[in-house]
């Protein structure tokens, strides 16, 4: 067949011209792909979402002009090695499948900007993942990853990285510090005991979720390892707007936390903090501060510098008094939670609060 010829192709009872560029076969309850699709060599977008596909045929590699391939919510257990021929792909969505591994040939897809691999059965990533140097979005949530390859540090254009719900992931490689364009990093409900110092190199980071790193100690009482501290380099993340550190075992914050002067939300819910550093008062753009369920016995005087706070939660601590500077917060504060402490009264300076 001459590539310039236009032919008619019938797929699932519908006829298409071979020069079409977009084909949507989502929600068609397919268990396999019609061989006729291989003739649609001008396709740029193929949507196969919400079907029952268990594998992709090798002829998928014929569709070399594809820029978008969507396979959300299928039954794929593996990928054809011929996916390596889809070098024009910019988006590949494999969320909600049953993939246990990726072929090394995934590294050939060097034009990929978005790769969705969430909700699969992956235990590892091939080193070739580092070849995807144009990648801007990588979703790996809800897998079974035990480690990340060092080559992940080659993804220097990455802006968003999602690693939630990988229960067996217990470390992050130092090479993550090379991802200097990263803006969002989600490390939720994994098995970390520490962060690498190189985290401080992510100076464009705006959102860092480091939530519920309670390690195996929650499940194995003989495991003494906990996520108890942050590296000093965390203070280099001066573009952070949201820092979520809830449900860990933090016992203290580094002084460098005060360098995060663009921070608007700081969540420290359910840790083991007994005190806050004076430098906390430098976070003058902070609007939300959650300190519920800690072991605080006092607050630093510098807390009064947080005059833009709208929401302050201090439930279930051991506070016996509040500093006089606390009254400086009253003009903008809209929500204040102080239940279950040992307070007898509020400081005189806090009277006539305008918005509470």
Extract the tokens encoding 164: 């939630």
The neighbour count for residue 346, using CB atoms within 10 Å, is: 16
288 DSSP 8-state letter: E
- Mean of the pLDDT values across residues 162-176? 95
As a whole number, the mean pLDDT across the chain is: 93
Question: Which residues lie across from 290 on neighbouring strands?
Answer: 267, 313
Identify the sign of the CA torsion 84, 86, 87, 89: negative
Taking only Cα atoms into account, the Rg of the chain, rounded to an integer number of angstroms, comes to: 26
CA 237-241-244 angle, 5° bins: 85
Question: 168 or 224, which is more confident?
Answer: 168
Domain range for 322 is: 273-284+292-356
In a domain, 46, yes or no: no
Structural contact between residues 130 and 152, judged by C-beta atoms closer than 8 angstroms: yes
Which pLDDT does position 219 carry in this prediction? 44
- Cα(277)–Cα(168) distance, rounded to whole angstroms? 32
CB 53 within 8 A of CB 32: yes
Specify if 320 maps to a domain: yes
Please report whether residue 308 resides in a domain.
yes
Q: Does residue 319 lie within any of the structural domains?
A: yes
Residue 208 maps to a domain: no
Q: Can you give the pLDDT at residue 351?
A: 76
Identify the band that residue 225 occupies on the pLDDT scale cut at 50, 70 and 90: low
pLDDT exceeds 90 at position 218: no
Has residue 118 been placed in a domain?
no
Is position 194 within any domain?
no
The answer as to whether 92 is a domain residue is no
CA-CA distance, 207 to 161, in Å (whole number)?
Answer: 11
| C-alpha 231 chain-centroid distance | 19
Identify which of 132, 169, 185, 136 has the alpha carbon closest to the alpha carbon of residue 154. 132
What's the mean pLDDT in 26-31? Answer: 95
Q: Give me the pLDDT at residue 86, please.
A: 98
CATH number at residue 309: 3.80.10.10
Domains identified in the chain, total number: 1
């Amino acid at each position: 067949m001459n590539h310039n010829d236009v032919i008619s192709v019938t797929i699932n009872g519908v006829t298409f011209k071979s020069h079409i560029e977009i084909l949507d076969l989502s929600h068609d309850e397919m268990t396999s792909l019609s061989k006729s699709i291989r003739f649609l060599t001008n396709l740029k977008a193929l949507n196969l979402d919400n079907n029952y596909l268990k594998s992709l045929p090798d002829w998928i590699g014929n569709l070399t002009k594809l820029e978008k391939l969507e396979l959300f919510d299928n039954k794929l257990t593996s990928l054809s090695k011929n996916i390596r021929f889809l070098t024009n792909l910019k988006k590949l969505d494999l969320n909600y499948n049953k993939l246990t591994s990726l072929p090394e040939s995934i590294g050939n897809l060097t034009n990929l900007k978005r790769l969705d691999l969430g909700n699969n059965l992956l235990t590892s990533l091939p080193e070739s993942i580092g070849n995807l140097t144009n990648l801007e979005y990588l979703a790996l949530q809800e897998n079974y990853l035990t480690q990340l390859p060092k080559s992940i540090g080659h993804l220097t254009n990455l802006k968003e990285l999602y690693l939630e719900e990988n229960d067996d992931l217990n470390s992050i490689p130092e090479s993550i510090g090379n991802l200097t364009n990263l803006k969002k990093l989600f490390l939720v409900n994994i098995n970390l005991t520490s962060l690498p110092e190189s985290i401080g190199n992510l100076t464009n980071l705006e959102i860092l979720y480091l939530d519920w790193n309670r390690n195996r100690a929650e499940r194995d009482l003989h495991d003494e390892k906990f996520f108890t501290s942050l590296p000093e380099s965390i203070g280099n993340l001066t573009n952070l707007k949201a820092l979520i550190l809830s449900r860990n075992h933090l016992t203290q914050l580094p002084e460098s936390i005060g360098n995060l002067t663009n921070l608007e939300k700081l969540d420290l819910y359910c840790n083991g903090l007994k005190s806050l550093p004076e430098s906390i008062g430098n976070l003058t753009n902070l609007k939300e501060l959650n300190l519920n369920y800690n072991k605080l016995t006092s607050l630093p005087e510098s807390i009064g510098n947080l005059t833009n706070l709208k929401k302050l939660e201090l439930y279930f601590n051991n506070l016996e008094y509040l500093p006089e500077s606390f009254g400086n917060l009253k003009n903008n504060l809209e929500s204040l939670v102080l239940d279950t402490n040992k307070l007898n009264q509020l400081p005189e300076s806090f009277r006539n609060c305008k918005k509470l």
